């Protein structure tokens, strides 16, 4: 099976460790992964902010870049949702690749049939299901199932977990006051868990929540769940 990595623009620039983690997990499971260097961005920010025309070239680029792979895996619920939900409408030729694009936990659990990726991580972790992974992709508890199999991990439940953190892409800038109010509540719930690590399926939401946690010097570390799944022997 030819698996291609779609790392996403945000991860490429600011969170390379997430992409590295995905690479390591899949290699550990015995798969070969490829990184088509022509990839850029899925176009979600443009499409969702009202610039569909400007997003279409990126959609086309994605379709060309990832044509010919059996599966495309992205460590982002939100970008995967964009590809699967909006691509067929924006560029009908992208429908087929959209159908073969998976968020990491979907690839692992549904396609590869793996729930234990052989990870070990001795920390208290709480998990925030990001909105698009929850309500557009319907990931359910796939990421949590993977996390539950991590040796040494202590998972603690997050109150109001399914409530949006207030990121919402350009919403965070355009509606900063409401976004900040939502963020404050999410940070409070995270801190109440006493977890050392907040995990989620989207680094964009994590930049927002983590940014709030950092601003409050909470000491809670925001991590993409893929990074936890990549951890082995040495407990971080």
- Residue 50 binding another protein, by CB under 8 A: yes
Q: Least distance in Å: CB of 72 to another protein?
A: 15
# residues near another protein by CB under 8 A: 72
**Near another protein in 120-149, by CB under 8 A:** 131-132, 134-136
DSSP 92: G
> What is the residue whose two structure tokens read 């939401």?
205
Longest dimension (CA), the chain: 48
Pairing of strands 3-5, 33-34: parallel
Q: Applying CB under 8 A, which part among 3-11, 98-106, 143-151, 225-233 lies near another protein?
A: 3-11
Q: Least distance in Å: CB of 14 to another protein?
A: 5
- Residue 55 binding another protein, by CB under 8 A: yes
**Near another protein in 179-218, by CB under 8 A:** 179-183, 207-208, 210-212, 214-215, 217
**Near another protein in 99-118, by CB under 8 A:** none
- Residue 221 binding another protein, by CB under 8 A: yes
CA angle 105, 122, 149 (to 5 degrees): 35
Burial class (CB in 10 A: 0-12, 13-18, 19+), 111: middle
**Near another protein in 145-174, by CB under 8 A:** 162-164, 166-174
- Residue 93 binding another protein, by CB under 8 A: no
Asked whether 30 and 70 are in contact (CB, 8 A), the reply is no
Sign of CA dihedral 71, 20, 211, 59: negative
> What is the residue whose two structure tokens read 């202590």?
154
Q: Least distance in Å: CB of 227 to another protein?
A: 12
- Residue 96 binding another protein, by CB under 8 A: no
Burial class (CB in 10 A: 0-12, 13-18, 19+), 220: buried
- Pick from 57, 68, 92, 140: which binds another protein (CB under 8 A)? 57
């Amino acid at each position: 099976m030819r698996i291609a990595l779609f790392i996403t623009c945000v991860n490429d620039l600011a969170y390379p460790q997430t992409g590295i983690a995905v690479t390591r997990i899949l290699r550990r499971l015995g798969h070969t992964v490829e990184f088509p260097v022509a990839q850029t961005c899925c176009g979600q920010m443009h499409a969702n902010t009202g610039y569909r025309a400007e997003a279409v070239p990126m959609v086309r680029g994605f379709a060309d870049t990832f044509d010919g792979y059996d599966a495309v895996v992205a460590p982002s619920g939100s970008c995967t949702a964009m590809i699967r939900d909006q691509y067929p409408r924006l560029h009908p030729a992208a429908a087929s690749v959209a159908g073969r694009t998976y968020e990491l936990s979907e690839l692992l659990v549904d396609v590869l049939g793996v729930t234990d990726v052989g990870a070990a991580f001795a920390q208290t972790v709480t998990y925030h299901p990001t909105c698009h992974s929850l309500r557009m992709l319907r990931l359910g508890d796939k990421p949590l199932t993977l996390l539950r199999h991590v040796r040494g991990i202590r998972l603690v439940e997050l109150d109001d977990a399914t409530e949006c953190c207030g990121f919402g892409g350009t919403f965070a800038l355009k509606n900063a006051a409401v976004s900040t109010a939502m963020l404050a509540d999410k940070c409070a719930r995270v801190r109440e868990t006493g977890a050392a690590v907040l995990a989620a399926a989207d680094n964009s939401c994590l930049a927002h929540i983590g940014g709030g946690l950092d601003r409050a010097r909470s000491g809670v570390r925001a991590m993409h769940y893929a990074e936890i799944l990549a951890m082995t022997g040495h407990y971080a």
